[in-house]
Amino acid sequence: MKITVIGAGAVGATTADNIARRNFAEEVVLLDIKEGFAEGKAQDMMQTSALLGFDTKIKGVTNDYLQTAGSSIAVITSGIPRKPGMTREELIGTNANIVKEVVQNLIKHSPDITILIVSNPMDTMTYLALKVSGLPKNRIIGMGGALDSSRFKYQIATKLNASPADLNAIVIGGHGDTTMIPLINKATWNSIPVKNFLTEEEKAEIVHKTMVGGATLTALIGTSAWYAPGAAAAAMVESIALDQNKLFTASVYLEGEFGQEDICIGVPVILNKNGWDKIVPLDLDAEESAKFEDSAQAVRKMNQVLKDNNII
């Protein structure tokens, strides 16, 4: 099992580190365009193997895609990160060309690869990867919903003083501060509806804090977060690599599901050796359905930028 992570910045390195610690891959290739950067990160991580007890080999390379040949799964984190006050959507011009080139290079050496997109704006970058790769739709997956759902559970757990492990709660829709939809009325605490323990004001607060979770961290840190994104990507890779059939919210290509066509957006899916294997239907109420439609339209506007600039 060989896994490639493109981009050795904070998110990419954390993804590689999490995958190595989970000890299910034989090799992780960490690739970056900056000379020596990935090599240094890989060597630093490998020097923890005796302390942490993993056997995965981490190999850093500088822009040499031949070293990625035969990869089963690749995680693309490359591109510029957000700065304070910047939206994910503002990254599209720079990151689209980077992601397009990365996808083409990966497929050249690993034609049967499954690709997980982390780069922002994530839904649009996932759509771009699907269109330029020619891969089956089930082998192109966007990470954002898994991260947003984890942040959602954190906010609920903090409010209820509960263990996040006892919560079932998901976020659907676009991976954006105004497009994600935390499904607060469907969240449960060991099968008991979370709404039973919350006032309307508390529910609204949790939803708001979830939606601006990334921007909040960017303002505090000065750049995009990396621990939770890296952990989310690694968990998704593990479910695919080990055929675990775990349910995640992920950005995938819809062809009529949830009333949407020709779009990649966050919905519940099963991840296994096929990539995303099936979309899990949700019984959305009228308000949730309207929010999903609005989210889809916002994502379509971002996708149109790709077409207007002849990127796809």
Residues labelled catalytic: 175
3-state SS string for the chain: CEEEEECCCHHHHHHHHHHHHHCCCCEEEEEECCCCHHHHHHHHHHCCHHHHCCCCEEEEEECCHHHHCCCCEEEECCCCCCCCCCCHHHHHHHHHHHHHHHHHHHHHHCCCCEEEECCCCHHHHHHHHHHHHCCCHHHEEECHHHHHHHHHHHHHHHHHCCCHHHEECCEEECCCCCCEEECHHHCEECCEEHHHHCCHHHHHHHHHHHHCHHHHHHHHHCCCCCHHHHHHHHHHHHHHHCCCCEEEEEEEEEECHHHCEEEEEEEEEEEECCEEEEECCCCCCHHHHHHHHHHHHHHHHHHHHHHHCCCC
